[in-house]
A = this chain, B = another copy of it.
Amino acid sequence: MKTDSKPHVRTRRDHSTETAEDYVEAVLQVIDSRGACRVVDLAKRFGVSHVTVTKTVSRLQAAGYLTSEPYGPIILTRKGRRVANESMKRHQIVLEFLLALGIGRSVAEVDAEGMEHHVSQETLSKFEAFVAGRKGDG
């Protein structure tokens, strides 16, 4: 797990994996709700042009997260599915934590999307414990 003593170095590393995590997560969710994932779906979701999505998808394909043929749908590889599931789980924990803290849902959803990539395993565990604790209360 390499405990980077330099905070900014870790933050930069977090950012370098952020796109892959958000994309595979989105692909999984779109497939789950529409049957197949297309470039337009991701463009709408992320609020970017379809060109940006196409280029990113091609990078992620080269990196082994997904596959796609010309004019075809976007499909996750085994690796892509693994990362998507891990990311979704972590996203969920962060979101539930913010909700448990009493933050409004729409704000919590926005904050979680950015925060999720910077939460260490230790912090994630504390978040989980906190949520579990609030469930027990009244």
Contacts and interface: CB of A to CB of B under 8 A. Distances in A.
Interface of A: 3-11, 14-15, 22, 45-47, 98, 101-104, 106-115, 117-120, 122-123, 126-127, 130
A10 B123 contact: no
Contact of A113 (B7, B106, B126): B7
A3 B114 contact: no
Given A15-B15, A98-B123, A123-B107, A10 B113 contact: yes
Contacts of A102: 126
B120 A110 contact: yes
A107 B9 CA distance: 13
A8 B48 CA distance: 9
A50 B91 CA distance: 36
Given A22-B8, A46-B8, A47-B6, A120 B126 contact: no
Nearest to A10: B110
5 contacts: A7-B110, A9-B46, A10-B110, A14-B114, A101-B126
A8 B47 contact: yes
A103 B123 contact: yes
A122 B109 contact: no
